[in-house]
Structure 1
Amino acid sequence: MSVEKPTPARSPKTPPDPRAARLKAALKANIARRKAQARARDGQDMSNDPVAQDTDHHNE
Structure 2
Amino acid sequence: MTTKNDEARAARLKAALRENLRRRKRQVRGRGEPAAGQEAAQEEGQAAAKDAAEPPDDRDPAPSDAPSS
TM-score using structure 1 length:
0.50
Bigger Rg over Cα: 2
Q: Tell which has more relative contact order, 1 or 2 (C-alpha 8 A, sep 6+).
A: 1
Aligned to 2:7: 23
Instruction: Please state if 1:42 is matched with 2:34.
Output: no
Distance 1:48 1:19 in 2: 45
Moved over 4 A (4+): none
1:17-58 CA-to-partner distances (Å, cap 9, x unmatched) read x52111100001001101110110010010023xx36x33xx
RMSD of aligned C-alpha atoms? Answer: 1.9
Instruction: Give unmatched runs, 5+ long, in structure 2.
Output: 44-69
Return the TM-score normalized by structure 2.
0.45
